[in-house]
């Protein structure tokens, strides 16, 4: 794949972090250190890795990170009780509940118990609605990252046909809304969609968020399509068969090094923004 076809998430992530660092200096000058609380329920190895990556990213930039690890057998009530305590703690500015949680827990109830002012990962129903209606909020970090990549590379969205493959509540559905708000014509596909290949052949922009390694093939795509692969599967493999897209696509995100680094940078940015807003409220009282 030629270098000029690559949408480089590491470059975009670095630029976001520079802006975050400048805002961090201002906050620490006022004696405020932004703090993210991360919650892991159970012992899912992938989730443990993600939490570690997020905590390390916080530490490197100067954001505090407090980890809370509940046992596998925890109940919905126990998890919501912990979230309630973190909501009430003025030293915690953002709360991240790592997905997925064990099956006995009502994940939606847990997500929705997070105070929207601390919902830096954009997982609450209220946050989803506000983002869809273009009311100020923190959108889900991966959809926000996708929009940052589109902005950075000046990719033309208006009037284009965007096909989102996947409809999860923290990726497929919110990114469809964000693209719609940018005047794209959006088709959201999923496991019940008929003739996926035919629909993808019409797409100017493809957002892959299906969670299946190398699922989307290059010969399914329209010539000069833009492909943003938000999939992250075992072995650092995306949802799009990257090599088969060579000579077909206009631009593509690699995995790793595409959407992933920008997703983490957006989490840092949202946490700093939350600290800024919460510190203003504390000062004004």
Ordered mean pLDDT values, 10 residues apiece, the chain (285 residues): 84 97 95 97 93 96 97 98 98 97 98 98 97 96 98 97 97 97 98 97 98 97 97 93 96 97 98 95 50
CATH code of the region 31-116: 3.40.50.10860
Q: Which residues contact 268 (CB under 8 A, 6 or more apart)?
A: 16, 17, 20, 57, 58, 61, 63
Confidence (pLDDT) at 4: 67
Q: If we measure between CA atoms, which residue out of 146, 155, 198, 221 comes closest to residue 176?
A: 146
Q: Is 241 considered catalytic here? A: no
Q: Which of 17, 118, 119, 121 is catalytic?
A: 121
pLDDT of residue 104: 98
What phi and psi, each to the nearest 5 degrees, are found at residue 236?
Answer: 55, 45
Enter the CATH code of domain 141-258. Answer: 3.40.50.720
Give me the pLDDT at residue 280, please. Answer: 82
Q: Is 98 a catalytic residue?
A: yes
pLDDT of residue 284: 44
- Pinpoint the residues of the chain covered by CATH 3.40.50.720: 141-258
Does the active-site annotation cover 121? yes
CATH 3.40.50.10860-classified regions of the chain: 31-116
């Amino acid at each position: 794949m030629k270098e000029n076809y690559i949408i480089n998430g590491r470059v975009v992530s670095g630029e976001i972090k520079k802006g975050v660092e400048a805002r961090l200096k201002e906050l620490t000058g006022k004696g405020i250190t932004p703090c993210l609380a991360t919650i892991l329920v159970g012992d899912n190895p992938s989730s443990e890795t993600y939490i570690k990556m997020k905590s390390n990213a916080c530490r490197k930039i100067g954001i505090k990170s407090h980890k809370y690890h509940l046992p596998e057998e925890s109940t919905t009530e126990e998890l919501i009780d912990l979230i309630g305590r973190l909501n009430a703690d003025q030293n915690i500015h953002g709360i991240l509940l790592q997905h997925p949680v064990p099956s006995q827990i009502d994940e939606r109830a847990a997500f929705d118990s997070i105070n929207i002012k601390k919902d830096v990962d954009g997982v609450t129903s209220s946050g989803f609605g506000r983002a869809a209606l273009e009311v100020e909020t923190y959108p889900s970090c991966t959809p926000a990252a996708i929009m940052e990549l589109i902005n950075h590379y000046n990719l033309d969205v208006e009037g284009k046909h965007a096909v989102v493959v996947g409809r999860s509540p923290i990726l497929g559905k919110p990114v469809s809304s964000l693209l719609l708000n940018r005047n794209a014509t959006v088709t959201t596909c999923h496991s019940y969609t008929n003739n996926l290949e035919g629909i993808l052949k019409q797409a100017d922009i493809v957002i892959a968020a299906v969670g299946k390694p190398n699922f989307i093939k290059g010969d399914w795509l329209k010539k000069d399509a833009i492909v943003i692969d938000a999939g992250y599967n075992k072995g650092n493999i995306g949802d799009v068969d990257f090599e088969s897209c060579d000579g077909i696509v206009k631009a593509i995100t690699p995995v790793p090094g595409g959407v992933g680094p920008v997703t983490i940078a957006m989490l840092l940015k949202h946490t700093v923004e939350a600290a800024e807003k919460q510190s203003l409220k504390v000062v004004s009282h």
